[in-house]
Amino acid sequence: MTTVYVGLGSNIDPEDNLHLGVCELRARYGELQLSAVYRSRAVGFEGQDFLNLVASFETDSSPAAVCKEIELIHTLSGRDRNDGKWASRSLDIDLLLYDDLVVDEKPVRIPRNDVLEYSFVLRPLAELAPDLRHPVTGRTMLEHWQEFDASTHPLEVVGVML
């Protein structure tokens, strides 16, 4: 079994859509480990605040198969891929890490660059798996978080998903 980490975010009916995302991941992969939920401002465009969290699960599915399931969940949430990269989203689920695999071939790019670039990805990941080592840097998520300039994109803990 492989341990997978995914980031979930939403700024359109975020509580409902994150709940949908978590429920659909559970239906497909079973038990999930979840970080707290964090509120952050939209990045790259003007929009409502996002709610974000990180989930982990174990699977025998390939990275491409996980990505395919993620797209099916996006469709269930009503996500419109024609809105562009910098737009409000009903649900955004990103494959962040797949054990220590490093792949850079569409549709799979892991580890996702967002892990080290955005507080709303790195902080919940460091919370969920502080001793997890980044497959490229070899450093732990906690080490990366401790060195991250969190003032560039402040977060607010807003609760937990069940």
- How confident is the model over 66-115, as pLDDT tens digits? 999 999 998 888 777 666 666 688 899 999 999 999 998 877 889 999 99
DSSP string, the chain: -EEEEEEEEESSSHHHHHHHHHHHHHHHH---EE-EEEEE--SSS--PPEEEEEEEEEESS-HHHHHHHHHHHHHHTT--GGG-SSS--S-EEEEEEETT--EEETTEEES-THHHH-HHHHHHHHHH-TTPBPTTT--BHHHHHHHS-GGGS--EEEEE--
pLDDT on residue 105? 85
pLDDT on residue 107? 75
pLDDT bucket at 32, cuts 50 / 70 / 90: very high
Q: How many domains, the chain?
A: 1
Q: Which domain holds residue 117?
A: 2-160
Give the CATH number of the domain where residue 93 resides.
3.30.70.560
Percent of the chain exceeding pLDDT 90 equals 75
Q: Which residue has the tokens 């989203």?
A: 89
pLDDT bucket at 161, cuts 50 / 70 / 90: low
